[in-house]
Amino acid sequence: MSEQASSYFMANLSPSSENPSPLIEGLKVIRTFHHPAGRGDRDGPCRRTSHESTPPCVIRSRWLEKVDLWAWVQHEITFATTEIVYGLANPYRHSKVDAGFWGFSEGTLPLLMPGIFPMIFAQRALAGRETVIKGMDNYFVCEGYLEGPSLVKTRYLTLKNHALDSDLARFECVNGIAILANTVPTAFWTIFHIFSDPGVLQEVRNHVEAITIIKTMPNGKVRKIDLSRLKDGPILFSAIQEALRVRATGSGPRLVMEDVRVGENQYLLKKDSAVIIAHKALHSDREAWGETAETFITDRFCGRASQQAYRGFGGGANHCLGRSFAMGEIAALVAMMVMRFDLIPTMGNSKAWGEPGQDLSNMALQIAPPKKHVVVDVSPRPDLGGVSWEFVV
């Protein structure tokens, strides 16, 4: 960023500062837009994309062979999310920007290396970042934000007096990390755990079936999933939270505001020191989660579950601003998938779901992607052939 923009965004970040921080105040505005009672777009993301939300590669309801589940989820979540955030002029519609972002996202840590090391060890990330920046810069220069949702429009109009368009393009490039980097693996693992357990799959289908409206139209039957009722049965949202718990790989840094002693051994934490909390340790603590702490239990969050030991979306002042948005988006995707398709694993010669492990190479992620490819055949459910599908709100 330019020196002017950098100084503006970094001003008054110290906890002891008496003046408001532009960055923190901006986050408060974002929180307002995401809150159900806030000023966000009343249409809502699902209403604006109700017909486009079904992934384009499976709309045709035909058998698809050897689909890389991770790559598919990554592409569809990227497209759907950025369409909602940036509107009709969405830069991510260009495949180069899409690919560039994921090249950047998967190599963020090497970019922090000093001197010339990023140019040696992070060439793909550097190139991807520049591709996204060019796409976002063009978005602002061509005033694409004017056709976008009120959030991105308000953010741009608020910041443009303090930064160049090129600065805001860099800011939006990093914003992609916030809206995509952890949403995609969360969606993937939720789909993986639901489809790999026939009993869980049937339970989720029963819930979605109960909130599906069936109408007979001149051109055939239409089945409409009522998104406003997704939470009527907690099993789907519980599955998402459990995926975040079991597959957590990130950490949560905290700044110590004053000297304090914690734990049975009364460890002294000094003021202004940093505490790094490993989410995996919290999420596998048997005192909090019982003997099944390391097992995926789909309905674990249907009742009372430990909140102090759960950091799926962070906590406190650092609670993820877009958690409701992400949960709703993933729930909608999973609801449509379970109703329309069977996923048949085709990994090697086996037709069984195998554990793919997790790729821990990117420490910046809160939930790591699979280590091995998960390849599936996508089969339309035979008992629901010839039916059209829609979302309604």
Distance between CA atoms of residues 375 and 215, nearest Å: 35
Helix axes 3-10, 165-176, angle to 10 degrees: 50
- The beta strand positions in 129-259, using DSSP E, are 212-217, 220-226, 251-255
Collect all residues with Cβ–Cβ distance below 8 Å to 224 and sequence separation of at least 6: 212, 213, 214, 215, 389, 390, 391, 392
**Element (H or E) spanning 277, and its range?**
strand 274-278
Query: Are 331 and 240 spatial neighbours (Cβ–Cβ below 8 Å)?
Result: yes
Task: Identify the DSSP state of 343.
Answer: E
* Among 136, 68, 137, 132, CA closest to 102: 132
- On whether the CB atoms of residues 204 and 194 are closer than 8 A, the answer is yes
Cα–Cα nearest to 125, from 143, 140, 139, 113: 113
Tokens standing for residue 258: 């004053």
Q: Are 335 and 208 in contact (CB under 8 A)?
A: yes
Q: What are phi and psi of 278, to 5 degrees?
A: -80, 115
What element of type H or E holds 276?
strand 274-278
Separation between Cα atoms, residue 231 and residue 376, nearest integer Å: 28
Distance CA 96, CA 294 (A): 39
Is 302 annotated to bind a ligand? Reply is no
Report which residue type is found at 240: I
Beta strand 274-278 with 267-269 is unpaired
- Residue 343 carries which side chain, given as an amino acid letter? L
Residue set of the binding site for heme: 320
Binding site: which residues?
Answer: 320
